Structure 1
Amino acid sequence: MHIVLTSFLWLTVSVLLGAAVRWSQVRKYWKKRNVPHDAPNPFMGSLTFLQRENPDPIWSSIRRRLTIVFTAAKLRALTGLTQNKAADLVYRIKTEMEKGAVENLRIICSDYTTDVIGEAAFGVASETTRTGDSIMRRVTREFMTFNVQRGFSWSSIFFFPELVDIFGFSLFPKHTTEFLRQILRSIIEQRGGHNRDIGEPRDLLDALFKIQKEGMASGEELSEDLLLAQAAIFLLGGFDTSGSVMTWAILEMSHNPKLQDKLYNELMEAKQKLGGKDFDPTTLAELPFLNAVIKETLRKFPPMGWLDRMASRDYVVDDNLTIPAGSVVYVNAIGLHWDPKFFPNPEKFDPNRFMPENEGNIKPYTYMPFGEGPRNCIGFRFGYQTVRFGLSAIFSNFEVRPLPNTPLADDTEVEKKGMFLMPGQQISVQFIPRNNNIS
């Protein structure tokens, strides 16, 4: 026991000494190059562990083959599902209003987005929007829960990766990961097992299983853990980001009745043209003000306010600075979105910035809620469609009003323990049914 303990202590000391040496290099990195910068610190510094050459061919291969899940045809095939979940959202709000005000806006929005992504991407039937609970919601609810242990795990993953294997840290709660693994295995068996033939993938899981099967045939074995990680990341990145965008949009609109009226009139005009039929993806995608509301929300509150990219080659900035290949460059996306040079009066919620007659004036690469380039968010079209259906259902059926204790969006606490830019406090609003006979 004494020998094991001594070995562990030596290993820990070695790791810490190595970290100290790298910290010294990080601290002087930009100073040597005469680049203006904020002085880094040991805990929130330059993340040098990412500064290694790693082309990540597995990630590239998986991403390329997953794009078939997000084609326009695939998204149109989800019309019936998303229409039904949007109707469930209206039902849920009406039920909540019978008890009083909606007490936690983010929870209801996340229930809706969990349903959409759970059934669309995983093929798991879910009634979370109506009932507040389901198998998939238990998973996503855990994803929304943060504590000291999980915070330490995340800090180690990003800042001290050498400790990850020593202490067995993971990005997701381990029991939640195992629960999701059981769900995926159950779905595989229900669909005929690993040996079944997979033609055109009908959802994310089919696409992942097909990738695994093709990999085995070509000698490129993809582990269950790798596929599980892709599914978990897609679930985490999909339900909570879309849910938060809806929450921020509803909160901003609750304090802007004129903007609400403008959106309501646009929705009613579109509904009249449809002859009273339910909204479809094409119609919603062509509504300028609805989409301007969503884009302005993403400007003020991008779910991930920063982007990280690795230089694939030496990049010459000017005569004094060359970014070496393999360096990680962090882009302050939210800083760009709030820069008055690019967006005058950035604190003002102004969807008109993104109306067709104005959107062309936005300088390229100053608005990047989903990133840019080959590593942009693979599911951004799916996210847009989910949010469009949810917000159109809400604002065509209800007028939203703030309660006396409802903060302005800019005064709302932001979640400090999570990875994304989410409301960090409970938001309560009042929904007033509109008399338009729309359900």
Structure 2
Amino acid sequence: MEWLCVFITSLVVPAVIVYYFLRRQQRLWPNLGIPTAPNPHILFGNVRGIARTEHSYSILQRLYYEFKQRNVPVGGFMNFFQPAILVVDPEVAKCVLVKDFFEFHNRGIFVDTVGDPLSGGLFSLEDTQWKVMRQKMTPTFTSGKMKYMFGTVLKVAQELRQFVSDNCHRDDLEIKDLLQRFTMDVIGNVAFGIECNTLKNPNSQFSIMGNKSFYVDTVRMIKFFVGGQYKTLARKIGIKVVPDDVAHLFLELAKNTVQLRENGGENRNDFMNFLLEIKNKGKLSNEPNSGGDGLTIEEIAAQCFIFFTAGFETSSSTMNFCLYELAMDPDLQEALRTEVVESLAKNNGELTYETLLGMDLLDRTVSETLRKHPPLDNLFRISNARYTIPGTKYTVPENTLFQIPIYAMHNDPEYFPEPDRFDPDRFLPEAVKSRHPYAYLPFGEGPRNCIGMRFGLMQTKIGLVTLLNNFRFTPNSLTPKKLGYSPTSFVLSPRSRICLRIESLNS
């Protein structure tokens, strides 16, 4: 019987220790006097059901209104068994993202550039690694560089126009799938210099791996959590946030493209060409040195991968939601089409970068789409020191996760009256001036804002201009009356298929 006692003790003692640790974690915010979300689950905290039955946007929105009703600028909650702070007041968001950035310069995401090299994208890098890489990458996303890449995006947009023209008779043509293939082809061309042709071949390996990189389930969510909260342990046990087959494809693509171009192959004005210049010179031509060396193949692959993942799903999702809203509002759609036609007519029918930037209603319509359906539902930063939240007596410890629920803010009637109504006039200059600037954050803000914002907006607007200039979109029998969001996607994505009636304007 002695062995049985030893066996039971070996199980019970660790269980008691773990239980005590988890309960101590949950007492942190009440002990510090910080308003706290009630009834956290012992393991899942206040995010039970995330990535399984609910998307994080709805969980954070509930918490946001719970704290807002208590009239507090922030609230404490449990993100699984990690104590976290939810930002309610946009003024606190401003402090976290900009004013006190030096205390919040990391996102707290898992990075292992050796064991999981594609995790080393600019989005995830920390401290000096992030600073040096940001300095190297910033010149690749200027307006001047957008003009270089404009022609490549426009070429793929013409392929989109032809594909829709050939298939617009189909009532079951899914808009989300169509636009994902468009943005995948764009970024395959721009980032890797390859003709993906996913518009014609939706089952290509590139398409399959691209979609797989965005799928999230509870297991992958736990990997992200453990990797972010316990980085040293995660590296020791070999956690990988990028699936092996996805990593292999993108690493091989980067290696092959670099080898081809450096051996005298095609030279293009695209993202890969800019990275090659940094690889060999440490910087782009006519730019100051970032203070670091050039790029390794693994670093090139990681930056191309984050460019792909940050650009293809977010832009396609924005166009998808925008076309749905326009189909539901034919008057707005016609007004926008009129702006497109008139703008092109002033330039002899040619779409240029300057023409695109001059379309005011288009810009406001895309902004309203990003307001109502932001691709990323929240921003997150991690404190690198004890921090007293401005305007309060609340002091939180080092390594506290701060989450800014941008979906909740974007749909808060305090800042956007009748938030369910789609209204581009919310972004007229006088309307923008009337609300807190940090209540609208589709691309983040501050030194760690989205570096690819210009490119994302450019490809989104080129796609919309191409479609609206050639086709009219209206609901059909398969069009959902109301949108819901899938819980298994990082990016806010419709739960159900969106199909529309498409009428060619050139027939």
Contact 1:288 1:355 in 2 (8 A): no
Q: Letter of the aligned partner of 2:252 in structure 1?
A: Q
Contact 1:62 1:211 in 2 (8 A): no
User: Counterpart in 2 of 1:172?
Assistant: 242
Q: How does 1:330-369 map to 2 (within 5 A)?
A: 330-369=403-442
C-alpha displacement of 1:273: 0.9
User: Counterpart in 2 of 1:109?
Assistant: 179
Secondary structure at 1:401's aligned position in 2? Answer: strand
User: Counterpart in 2 of 1:427?
Assistant: 498
C-alpha displacement of 1:402: 1.0
1:90 aligns with 2:161: yes
Q: How does 1:292-303 map to 2 (within 5 A)?
A: 292-303=364-375
Q: Letter of the aligned partner of 2:498 in structure 1?
A: I
User: Counterpart in 2 of 1:307?
Assistant: 379
Distance 1:378 1:19 in 2: 41
Structure 2: any 5+ residue segments left out of the alignment?
A: 1-9, 48-77, 85-107, 111-124, 283-288
Contact 2:156 2:185 in 1 (8 A): yes
CA gap of 1:342–1:416, structure 2 versus 1, over 3 A, is: same
Contact 1:88 1:130 in 2 (8 A): no
User: Counterpart in 2 of 1:126?
Assistant: 196
Distance 2:218 2:435 in 1: 41
Q: Letter of the aligned partner of 1:27 in structure 2?
A: Q
Contact 1:93 1:102 in 2 (8 A): no
CA gap of 1:219–1:361, structure 2 versus 1, over 3 A, is: closer
Q: Letter of the aligned partner of 1:393 in structure 2?
A: T
C-alpha displacement of 1:182: 1.1
1:264 aligns with 2:263: no
Contact 1:255 1:401 in 2 (8 A): yes
Distance 2:435 2:502 in 1: 34
Q: Percent identity?
A: 27
C-alpha deviations, 1:44-94, integer Å up to 9, x for none? 424369499x95211221112101111111101122212211111111112
C-alpha displacement of 1:24: 3.1
CA gap of 1:221–1:122, structure 2 versus 1, over 3 A, is: closer
C-alpha displacement of 1:33: 2.6
Secondary structure at 2:199's aligned position in 1? Answer: helix
CA gap of 1:74–1:212, structure 2 versus 1, over 3 A, is: closer
CA gap of 1:148–1:163, structure 2 versus 1, over 3 A, is: farther
User: Counterpart in 2 of 1:28?
Assistant: 27
C-alpha displacement of 1:414: 1.2
Distance 1:165 1:405 in 2: 47
Q: How does 1:29-44 map to 2 (within 5 A)?
A: 29-39=28-38, 40-41=40-41, 42-43=43-44, 44=47
Distance 1:214 1:22 in 2: 50
User: Counterpart in 1 of 2:257?
Assistant: 187
Secondary structure at 1:107's aligned position in 2? Answer: helix
1:81 aligns with 2:152: yes
Secondary structure at 2:444's aligned position in 1? Answer: coil
Distance 2:470 2:151 in 1: 19
CA gap of 1:322–1:77, structure 2 versus 1, over 3 A, is: same
Aligned residues: 414
Distance 2:342 2:447 in 1: 37
CA gap of 1:373–1:88, structure 2 versus 1, over 3 A, is: same
Structure 1: any 5+ residue segments left out of the alignment?
A: 1-9
Question: Normalising by structure 1, what TM-score?
Answer: 0.84
RMSD (Å) for aligned C-alpha atoms: 3.2
Secondary structure at 1:318's aligned position in 2? Answer: coil
1:254 aligns with 2:327: yes
